[in-house]
Structure 1
Amino acid sequence: MAYGGAAMGPPAAAVAGQQTKKEVKLDKECEIRIEVGPESPLRLRLLNGIAEIFGTEIPPGIWLTFPPRLKFAVFTWYGATIEMDGITETDYTADETPMISYVNVHAILDERRKRAKNSSGDSEASQGPRVIAVGPTDSGKSTLSRMLLSWASKLGWKPTFVDLDVGQGSITVPGCIAASPIEMPIDPVEGILLEMALVYFYGYVNPGLNPDLYKLLVKELAQVLEKQFTGNAESRAAGMVINTMGWIEGLGYELLLHAIDTFKVDVVLVLGQEKLYSMLKDVLKSKPNVDVVKLQKSGGVVSRSQKARQKSRNYRIKEYFYGLSNDLSPHSNTANFSDISVYKIGGGPQAPRSALPIGAEPVADPTRLVLVNISQEMLHLVVGVSYAKEPDQIISSNVAGFLVITGIDMQRKKITYLAPSGSELPSKYLLLGNLSWVEA
């Protein structure tokens, strides 16, 4: 989700390279939308009142440091004063927000969670709300998801966040589908912690490159979560909030319906498009237990160019290795070709022509596991480290983390890679897509 809005110009004192400090008084139900400048971080603290960032309350009097280029909004229900220290690319206040409708959705979900908690066993009544946020690109889906999760966890619930947006990635690097329990309001700076995340590596930022694999991983993730809910009444009652991609036409729409069906969604929140709301309302009318709700997108949401989205992906990958504020120290390691096995999913004919009906053409098998010969073409690719113990478990296994291939020595048969830590790889099975990253 991108905040920014119409550029109103920097405050008068905000000269490039000069630190600025200013106080901003917010009236009730207003927010200030901020984009941190490109060169230096911004410090912000709450002087009085109560305010929140995407559903998470700001602790009073404590300076929070936001890294360059980060976009966010500070909202208050009752009025607040904040102090900012640093350069902003954009900052402006807004008194028209859809927050009332968003918090009303939260209140309804909270009632459903209470009913589920008071129901016994693994009956349908004991299942808390399963919510999916849908809408076109840059309509505020991930931010709405974040608010609903933080508001719920503030009340003591532990909902599960599911991220199906392989294009950007709210939990980990792009090219993944992932889930994580949210046990406390999401940190306004650090975001969602990776420690408890369940991550499947799809390997591409476009679901259309291998939709069968995308569906397979969505199904795999849903089955694992279903098992967890069966054994955990607390998580089951808290339910889940699912963030989706912005591709909502053609195949994208089909994948959206697949996700709604696979996760047994009962609340569909449609942001920013009347046509999609109408289509989903019509197609889901046969399911009386599914509510389709139309919500207004925030005026702070702005459309990003393809170049800006690519930049955002690169930042997410860099953040994985170096941290949000460059406070992590990744390690450069080497391995022999013989110590690792690199696989990709998809490719190769399903059957020889002789085994096909007359006139039929052999097609690539989108979910076939293929062993890849290590070559220079793998340079700069991001690879997943699978938890699989055997190759035939790779497709159904989640990943332990990610590496970036930084060097390949064909003569010495050695590979150099960047890893989050210097410890031994948890598996010799590496999973390949076409996700790449070059360290600037």
Structure 2
Amino acid sequence: MASARQFELAKESELRVEVASDAPLRLRLLSGTAEIFGTELPPGNWISAPPHSKIAVFTWNGATIELDGISEVEYVADETPMVSYVNVHAILDARRGRAKSSQASGTDSSQGPRVIVVGPTDSGKSSLCKMLLSWACKLGWKPTYVDLDIGQGSITIPGCIAATPVEMPIDVMEGIPLEMPIVYFYGHTTPSANGDLYKVLVKELAGTLERQFSGNAEAKAAGMVINTMGWVEGLGYELLLHAIDTFKCDVVLVLGQEKLCSMLKDVLKSKPNVDVVKLHKSGGVVLRNQRVRQKTRSLRIREYFYGLSNDLSPHSNIVNFTDISVYRIGGGPQAPRSALPIGAEPVADPTRLVAVNINRDLLHLVLAVSYAKEADQIISSGP
């Protein structure tokens, strides 16, 4: 759909738009108030929508929105789960307030809420995280955003787990701020490649954040919002429970799956301080096939190096192969079955460092540069 057009939004309704692949699309607020994933729209100013994105312009009290450009889909929805989302935000805000009061009184219960958002693929987890972060920032909090979704990656590139403080409502165009990220490079887009390594990196990231919180009372009271993968069965479910335990989460928000919510309530019932809450997913959530997800992943990698608007130029530096060492974590040669006890299976050390020969097989692969001074410190140092 092209050319400028206006949409009248009633109270508690939203305009849902799927942005076309490479065509520009702008929008602006003509009257009333509205927000995109918790970030308010400035009145009268044009906002550019990122290509390939899906956005929802929500209004609490009514608004008039103008679109200019090409979109694949656009429609107004009157039924949304936003009231339940903002109710969750209000409860989290109260917990942050109690944590801050506890700090002032010198008591031990000064930890803010640690919220983990879980659910199957394409259930709106990332969008809900953005809302909770932006709403918290509007009230003066500075929560920490943790992204454990290695398949897509909203802080850096896919294949990483990362965390970053969020101090202002998230910019519609720029996305998650990248001024102070903590990043651990996993190197694959699925945890099935090395589930044990994924657990090790999650534990490293959690430990780093704990040390930061111990010296930053403000960040500790603001707490965390944790995004997760959409794989919620088998190994994915095991890693989900590991993340809940490792980050000491006290609020589990389950989007769009009754079975997962029931399973988590059952397994976490021994932890009375953990609340499991089921939320409805937005009707604007669109299921993406494997081809679309792969394309989105490639765009995220390109955006990391070239910028959202192709305004960055990657820095090139030529080094001799003799000056660098390349390692793969996990894998490596296994003992033959004949050398193992009867009935035993060969097992590779999931965190073993294996030197990689530098050859043409490394072309078009993304490698992480480690700050480790010794090879055995690579995992704990991060990229």
Equivalent positions of 1:370-389 (< 5 A) are: 370-389=354-373
Q: Which has the larger displacement, 383-392 or 193-202?
A: 383-392
Aligned to 1:415: none
CA distance in 2, matches of 1:138, 1:353: 42
Q: Distance in 2 between matches of 1:123 and 1:333?
A: 52
Given the alignment, which residue of 74, 77, 98 partners 1:94? 77
d(CA) in 1 for partners of 2:296, 2:167: 27
Matched, 1:171 2:137: no
Post-superposition Cα deviations, 1:378-398, rounded to whole Å, max 9, x if no partner, equal: 110011111212211101112
Q: Deviations over 1:211-230 (max 9, x none)?
A: 00000000000000011111
Q: Which amino acid aligns with 2:199?
A: K
- Quick check: 1:203 aligned with 2:205? no
Deviations 1:253-288 (CA, angstroms, capped at 9, x unpaired): 000000000000000000010000000011100000
Q: Per-residue CA shift, 1:369-422, capped at 9, x if unaligned?
A: 1111101111100111112122111011121xxxxxxxxxxxxxxxxxxxxxxx
Q: What is the SS of the residue equivalent to 1:280? A: helix
* Residue aligned with 2:379, SS: coil
Return the alpha-carbon distance in structure 1 between the equivalents of residues 180 and 284 of structure 2: 31
Contact 1:40–1:67 (CA<8 Å) still a contact in 2?
A: no
Structure 2 residue aligned with 1:30 = 13
Match of residue 62, structure 2, among 72, 76, 79:
79
Cα separation, 2, equivalents of 1:44 and 1:361: 59
User: What are structure 2's unaligned runs of at least 5 residues?
Assistant: none
Task: Choose 317-326 or 355-364, whichever is displaced more.
Answer: 355-364
Equivalence for 2:283: 299
Cα distance in 1 for residues equivalent to 2:367 and 2:283: 37
Which is richer in helix? 2
Q: For 1:356-371, list aligned pairs within 5 A.
A: 357=341, 360-371=344-355
Q: In the alignment, what sits opposite 2:24? A: 41
Matches within 5 A, 1:139-218: 139-218=123-202
Moved more, 372-381 or 80-89: 80-89
> Which 4+ runs in 1 deviate beyond 6 A?
350-355
Q: Aligned Cα RMSD in Å?
A: 1.6
* CA displacement, residues 328-373 of structure 1 (integer Å, 9 cap, x when unaligned): 1223432210121111100235778898545534321111011111
2:21 aligned partner, one-letter code: P
Matched residues, number: 382
CA 1:132–1:329 in 2, change beyond 3 Å: closer, same or farther? same
Q: Residue deviations 1:128-162, cap 9 Å, x none? A: 00000000000001110110000001100000000
Q: Which structure: greater strand fraction?
A: 1
Percent identity of the aligned residues? 75
* Counterpart for residue 403 of structure 1: none
Amino acid at match of 1:242: I
Correspondence 1:392-403 to 2 at 5 A: 392-399=376-383
Partner of 2:292: 308
Q: Distance in 1 between matches of 2:21 and 2:205?
A: 37
| Structure 1 SS opposite 2:285 | coil
User: Could you tell me which amino acid in structure 1 is paired with residue 320 of structure 2?
Assistant: N
| CA distance in 1: counterparts of 2:275 and 2:345, whole angstroms | 43
CA distance in 2, matches of 1:379, 1:96: 49
Q: Distance in 2 between matches of 1:310 and 1:392?
A: 33
1:62 to 2:68 alignment: no
* Residue number among 232, 254, 260 corresponding to 2:244 in the alignment: 260
Partner SS for 1:255: helix
Q: State the distance in 2 between where 1:174 and 1:39 align.
A: 21
Residue 111 of structure 2 corresponds to residue 127 of structure 1: yes
- The amino acid that maps onto 1:60 is P
- What does the per-residue CA deviation read over 1:25-59, in whole Å, with 9 as the maximum and x for residues that have no partner? 21111110111222321111111211110000111
Equivalent positions of 1:271-420 (< 5 A) are 271-349=255-333, 357=341, 360-399=344-383
Does the C-alpha gap of structure 1 residues 123 and 385 become closer, same or farther in structure 2, counting only changes over 3 Å? farther
Please say which of residues 176-185 and 23-32 is displaced more in the overlay.
23-32
- Are the structure 2 counterparts of residues 216 and 123 from structure 1 closer, same or farther at C-alpha, using a change threshold of 3 Å? farther
Question: Aligned partner of 2:128: which letter?
Answer: L
Gaps of 5+ in 1: 1-9, 15-19, 400-440
Q: Deviations over 1:226-251 (max 9, x none)?
A: 11111111000000000000000011
> Structure 1: how far apart are the matches of 2:251 and 2:156?
25
TM, length-normalised to structure 1? 0.84
Secondary structure at the residue paired with 2:202?
A: helix
Corresponding residue for residue 53 of structure 1: 36
Which amino acid in 2 is paired with 1:58?
A: L
Give the Cα–Cα distance (whole angstroms) in 1 for the partners of residues 63 and 78 of structure 2.
Answer: 13
TM-score (norm 2): 0.96
Kindly state the Cα deviation for residue 68 of structure 1 after the two structures are TM-superposed.
2.5
Report the secondary structure of 1:287's partner residue.
Answer: coil
Q: Give the whole-Å Cα distance in 1 for the aligned partners of 2:257 and 2:27.
A: 34
Amino acid at match of 1:295: L
- Whole-angstrom distance in 2 between the partners of 1:349 and 1:286: 41
